[in-house]
Amino acid sequence: MQFEIWAKGLAALNVDCVVLGVFEDGELGEEAQGIDSASRGFLKKLLARGDFSGRSGETLLITELPGIEASRALLTGLGSRKNFSRKTWRRSLASAITAVAKTRIASIALAVERPPAKDLDDYYFGRAVAEIVGSTQYRINDLKTSKKPKPHALQKVLAGPVRKAGVEAAERGLEHGQAVSAAAYLQRDLGNLPANVCTPTYLADQARALAKQYTSLRVQVLDEAAIKKEKMGCLLAVSQGSHQPPRFIVLEHRAGKSDNPPVVLVGKGVTFDTGGISLKDPGGMDEMKFDMSGAAAVLASMSLVAKLRLPMRVIGLISAVENMPSGHAIKPGDIATSAAGLTVEILNTDAEGRLILCDALHYSRRFNPAAVVDIATLTGACVTALGHHHSGCMGNNEDLVHELVEAGVRADDRAWHLPLTEEYADQLKSNFADFANVGGREGGAITAAAFLGKFTQGLKWAHLDVAGTAYQGGAQKGSTGRPTPLLADFLIHRAGL
């Protein structure tokens, strides 16, 4: 896909289709007005007939529009002017791209009314266009044997209008947006793979492949013996019930002043979560193939920092295991010793994410990190609390939590700050070990984070619970690629770009 910014002269652009925004009640966006004049009122006539209402999500393809170079125009509804926002703008763009994908149109000029600059500046305009086009074009890497013919591919997108002074920023936005989009594709592809393909070993191979692709990346994969040497007893406890061997992945990106303290990203890579002996209900259990979404987001983010050559040091750590019941599996009440030396009573084998993360978080200490962020599909309780709209964000450092929340707002991949105050840790008391791995139903997303908090004292740490946001069910079932846009924004900002 080729992206370019256009600044003026829409009517003369040589593309297959111009995409124009129309508000509800027929008010034309600014560029649409210009096209209407050029076509001697063609659009107004069409609207007067009531053929297009401008409702958000609605589109109409006009196959011949006089007075412009393009051979077609696509109208996309912007909803009411009063409620026009970045969100409705995003939706109207996504609807337009979806409609275009059903045609033979290969090149478009986007000329949809833009939200005010305070809501979407030129840089984020470019970024959003590339990300929206990318995510709308995503196709699941399915294993269907009857291959549908590929939709006629869109090849070129001109985005505008952008004032001359803003073209450079918008072009940088396009470049970054394409990188974010490619990274989200990687996360989605990995998430959508079945667990019999996407095993811990497979994730390690993906990390190796990334390190081959980018010279700034170095990879180290710890196998079971090496993990034992690191005394990661909690990670091993989860893994011991599975025939699939565990992997601990270390990916490092070095650029710029590379002796600076790194940002460390830690991903939960449970390639399938049956719950173990605390077996899950069968309904919807297949969704637990997405339980490696945190790991996939870390791989995606590492590919992004490498692709954009962000001048900073970033380290990705991934605990990759399968959580299975078997004669070798851990049992409720078993006690494991973490790499940090703390003992954990495993009251519920389905609370396995925190067990593999605690050893990874401890591992991060050797890098003397500037910040540690873990990403995990950690709790159903987080889905209950926030639904599918926000990721949960907690941590021991307010500034870091705010930095992530703000990155999520800018990236339209939002997270919500949940309170991680010290009382929650009380729920983890155990009579038999330093603490238990579960703290009851109440505040389950937070007690899970409180567990991680036991291992991150003295670090600047934040935790993203993406159980509700990393994938979706229903007709669009599959990985969403979240929170890669949030992480990308966080990292790009940290790099000062």
Question: In the bound complex, what is the minimum distance in angstroms from residue 379's beta carbon to ligand BES?
Answer: 4
For 93, other C-beta atoms within 10 Å of its C-beta total 23
In the three-class reduction of DSSP (H, G, I as helix; E, B as strand; rest coil), residue 278 is classed as coil
Q: Which two tokens stand for residue 144?
A: 């269907």
Residue placing its CB nearer to ligand BES in the complex, 265 or 466:
466
DSSP-derived secondary structure letter, 223: -
Measure the CA–CA gap between 442 and 447, rounded to whole angstroms: 8
Query: How many angstroms separate the CA atoms of 296 and 236, rounded?
Result: 20
Q: How far is the CB of 465 from ligand BES (least distance, A)?
A: 9
Count Cβ atoms below 10 Å from residue 203 Cβ, excluding itself.
26
Assess 359 for contact with Mn ion (CB under 5 A). Answer: no
- Give the helix/strand (H/E) hosting 44: helix 42-48
What's the sign of the alpha-carbon dihedral 173, 176, 182, 187?
negative
The residues facing 436 across adjacent strands are 345
From Mn ion, Zn ion, ligand BES, none, interface partner of 373 (C-beta below 5 to 8 A by class): none
What is the sign of the dihedral through the CA atoms of 59, 132, 472 and 396?
A: negative
Residues that are catalytic: 280, 354
Pick what 108 binds: ligand BES, Mn ion, Zn ion, none; C-beta below 5 to 8 Å, kind-dependent.
none
Q: Quick one: 314 or 375, whose CB is closer to ligand BES?
A: 375
Cβ proximity to Mn ion, 154 vs 448, nearer residue? 448
In the complex, residue closest to ligand BES by CB:
380
The option from ligand BES, Mn ion, Zn ion, none interacting with 380 (CB < 5 to 8 A, set by class) reads ligand BES
Would you state the structure tokens that stand for residue 86, as one six-digit string? Answer: 């970045």
Spatial separation of the C-alpha atoms in residues 482 and 484, rounded to whole Å: 5
User: Taking CB under 5 A as the rule, which mask of x and - marks residues 267-306 in contact with Mn ion?
Assistant: ------x---------------------------------
Q: Closest CB to ligand BES among 288 and 405? A: 288
Residue 252: what are its φ and ψ, rounded to 5°? -125, 130
Q: Closer to Zn ion at the Cβ: 325 or 353?
A: 353
Apex CA 263: angle with CA 262 and CA 268, to 5°? 130
**Are 228 and 248 contacting, i.e. CB atoms less than 8 angstroms apart?**
no
The least CB distance from residue 325 to Mn ion, in Å, is 12
Which residue type is seen at 210? L
- Report the nearest approach of Zn ion to the CB of residue 445 (Å): 13
Minimum CB separation from ligand BES for residue 477, in Å? 13
The partner in contact with residue 131, picked from Mn ion, ligand BES, Zn ion, none with C-beta cut-offs of 5 to 8 angstroms by kind, is none
Residue 350 in contact with Mn ion, rule: CB under 5 A? yes
> Residue for token digits 């449970």?
270
Binding window for Mn ion (CB under 5 A); candidates: 333-341, 347-355, 395-403, 487-495: 347-355
Which residue ranges make up the site for Zn ion (CB under 5 A)?
A: 270, 273, 291, 353
- Give residues in contact with Mn ion (CB under 5 A): 273, 350, 352
